[in-house]
Structure 1
Amino acid sequence: MPAKGEIVRDLLRERVGRVMDHEDGCVQLRPLGGGVEWDADPADLEPVAVSAALREHVADLNWQSTNLS
């Protein structure tokens, strides 16, 4: 089970998030740029290096600026 604050990749949803909490056997994740949390099965998670997490965050911000403006 990843620790609170750890950055992980949800392989099922192809998303990266920060571990916010654990509840009922699930891990609660929040996108690195903030937003709505989602629940993930710990078996579907893998650790992410900080450089990869930063790359994912920048890509998400770029997508948001292009698609949500």
Structure 2
Amino acid sequence: MASNQETRPGIGAVAKDLGTGKIGLVMGEVGGKVQLRPLSGGLEWDAERDQVVPTKAREELSARLASVNERSRWGR
């Protein structure tokens, strides 16, 4: 069985914060917290390390599509 460290998403990976249900890019890890940034850009948020998990392919695709749609609405 894989350890938690092996299954934890690394920097640059798309991950889900189970505490909020939000999906974002892993930007870093400091003091037991993981910093995630929305796929569409914006401010990072902190998530508890044990609440950050890799996304399923369907979740990532849905989040990326939502990000593209959001950017197109705002002309970015």
Does structure 2 retain, via aligned residues, the 8 Å contact 1:2–1:42?
Answer: no
- Partner in structure 2 of residue 32 of structure 1: 39
Sequence identity (%): 37
Number of residue pairs matched by the alignment: 65
Q: 2:8 matched to 1:11?
A: no
Partners of 1:32 and 1:58 lie apart in 2 by 10
CA RMSD of aligned residues (A): 2.0
Partners of 2:68 and 2:42 lie apart in 1 by 12
Where do 4+ consecutive residues of structure 1 move more than 3 Å?
60-65
| Rg larger for | 2
Secondary structure of 2:12 counterpart: coil
Q: TM-score, normalised by structure 1?
A: 0.75
Q: TM-score, normalised by structure 2?
A: 0.69
Does structure 2 retain, via aligned residues, the 8 Å contact 1:27–1:41?
Answer: yes
